[in-house]
Amino acid sequence: MKSKGISKDFAEAKVDALATVVFKDEKVAGILKDLDKLTGGQISSVLDSEEFKGETGKTLLLRFSADKKKAGRLLLIGAGEKDEYKCADAAVAAGTAVRTLREMNLKSVAFAPRSEEGAEAVAACAFQGAVTSEFDLDKYKTKDKKDKKFKEFVLFVDGAKSSDLKNGLERGEIIGDSMNLTRDLANEPPNILTPTEMANRAKKMAKDAGLKCEILDEAKMKKLGMNSLLSVSKGSEQPAALIVLKYTPKKSTAKKGEHLALVGKGVMFDTGGISLKPGEGMEAMKYDMTGAATVFGTMRAIGMLKPSIPVMGVMGCVENMPDGKASRPSDVVTAMNGKTIEILNTDAEGRLVLADAVAYAEKQGASHIIDLATLTGAVIIALGNLNTGVMGNDQDFLNKVMESGKEVGEGFWQLPLKGYEKEVKSDIADVKNIGTKRRAGTIAGGLFIQEFIDKAKWVHLDIAGTAWADSPKPESSKGPTGVGIRTLVNLIEKSQ
């Protein structure tokens, strides 16, 4: 999809359709007034009759012009309350426009986001929304593929500087493509996307995005004492891989000693191991590597956006399989930081991977660590798919992450760790990998990872509920959501 910014003559745009937002219960004014005149009063008519009331997610298609040189259609997109309309909502509206029009076989749109935020920011949000709206799950279909040939997205911001629009559209494309890359990885079948294949793709991506990439194979990990991570892949034919990506700015503005690491759970497939999961629904566990895929996509975006602080990405990639060589419930292993772990359930494997991955990130110099993981089913029970579960050891750092999420329209909800510490104490080793019965399951996961953080400020994001959408939305396909990338990119850019 090509993009272009315009700052005047919206109604003259040479596209298949115009699209703009309508706020809840608003009266015809501003750009709507101009469009109303040009459509012979169609907009005031549908608003007056309450046929269309600007509710979020609702759309209405009107005829626009019979002149072949102008748009034939006008799409109105409900955007809810005007006071609450943010850049992130413009992304949703732009995505809704592209997906709706594409369904009708139209190929180009001029979109007026009607946002009061700066033109560059709005352009970035809108085009990101347009780009991510094109993602579909049909990669492996040989026929009946969605027609992805939406050709052009024209963004209209009245009176905007063309350089602002251009920069914003470029940013939107980088972030949108990075989200789609993460979504593609999350959707890959596990026979294709093995730890080794993930490593190969990381190497290639790093080259394109200007990042350094290092792959630690099992022998290297063994040498470093990463027996916790390695215990998870013992039952698999596929060797584990620790993928390390590094972004170094030309000129760093980071405070001395400050270095952010993003650490992702990359369980390419989670059968549960010897603590085998039930067969029904097990296929969903191909997305158990979405934490790693999110680190992958974020690092790509960072490599291309080039902020002035260094960022490290660490992805612990393994396959959790039952086998004669697999870990047993009751095994004890020693992690890289010297702590002993009693494995009481081989299905609580993500934390075993992250234990060594976060310790490695800290050893590599990370002062701030954010880990992302589809860690617990319990977080889906607690928060559903609207909010990512957040825990951490430093309230200021945690607030920064949550604030960043709020700004980009991603939901986070904090769960406590204090007071629950004994949940992961083992009778025979330093820690055990599950809590007591099914109590506070998400918190137990967070507490376990905390045991492997030394001095770093750390935030844990449990994305099991938010990383996958069970149903489609007007602006996006069902399946992997790309959650977290916008929050992390925004956080990093704000920390410059």
Q: Which residues bind ligand BES (CB under 6 A)?
A: 270, 288, 345, 347-350, 374-378, 380, 434, 441, 464
d(CA 182, CA 297): 5
Of 117 and 430, the one with the shorter C-beta distance to ligand BES is 430
Residue 376 binds which of ligand BES, Zn ion, none (CB < 5-8 A, kind-dependent): ligand BES
For residues 424 and 444, give the distance between their C-alpha atoms in angstroms, rounded to a whole number: 6
Whether 424 and 334 have beta carbons less than 8 Å apart is answered as no
Closer to Zn ion by Cβ: residue 349 or 410: 349
* Between 78 and 272, CB nearer to Zn ion: 272
| Least CB distance to ligand BES at residue 432 (A) | 10
Interaction partner, residue 378 (Zn ion, ligand BES, none; CB < 5-8 Å by kind): ligand BES
The answer to whether 489 and 298 have CB atoms below 8 angstroms apart is: yes
3-state SS, residue 193: coil
Chosen from Zn ion, ligand BES, none, partner binding at 213 (C-beta under 5 to 8 Å by type): none
DSSP 484: T
Instruction: Choose among Zn ion, ligand BES, none what residue 123 binds, the Cβ cut-off being 5 to 8 Å by kind.
Output: none
Residue ranges in contact with Zn ion by CB under 5 A? 267, 270, 288, 347, 349-350
Tell the smallest beta-carbon distance from residue 179 to Zn ion (Å).
Answer: 22
Per DSSP, 276 falls in state P
- Choose the catalytic residue: 107, 146, 277, 400: 277
From the list ligand BES, Zn ion, none, pick the one residue 491 interacts with, judged by a Cβ distance below 5 to 8 Å according to partner type.
none
Contact 86, 117 (CB under 8 A): yes
Our CB check for ligand BES shows the closer of 129 and 350 to be 350
| Residue closest to ligand BES, measured at CB | 377
CB of 137 to Zn ion, least distance (A): 21
Q: Note if 69 is an active site residue.
A: no
Site of tokens 């007007």: 474
Pick between residue 92 and residue 317 the one whose CB is nearest to Zn ion: 317
What is the smallest separation between the CB atom of 355 and ligand BES, expressed in angstroms? 13
| DSSP string covering 334-377 | E-TTS-EEEES-TT--HHHHHHHHHHHHHHTT-SEEEEEE---T
Q: Give dist(CA 306, CA 300) in Å, integer.
A: 10
> 394 Cβ partners below 8 Å, 6+ apart?
457, 458, 459
Catalytic residue among 183, 286, 351, 457: 351
Closer Cβ to ligand BES, 5 or 484, answer by number = 484
- b/e per residue, 88-105, with b = 16+ CB within 10 A? bbbbbbbbbbbbbbbeee
In the bound complex, what is the minimum distance in angstroms from residue 281's beta carbon to Zn ion? 13
In angstroms, the Cα distances linking 75 to 61, 78, 115, 128 are: 4, 10, 17, 19
Backbone angles phi, psi at 172, to 5 degrees: -60, -40
Tokens of 241: 């891989």
CB of 392 to ligand BES, least distance (A): 20
277 as an active site residue: the answer is yes
Active-site residue numbers? 277, 351
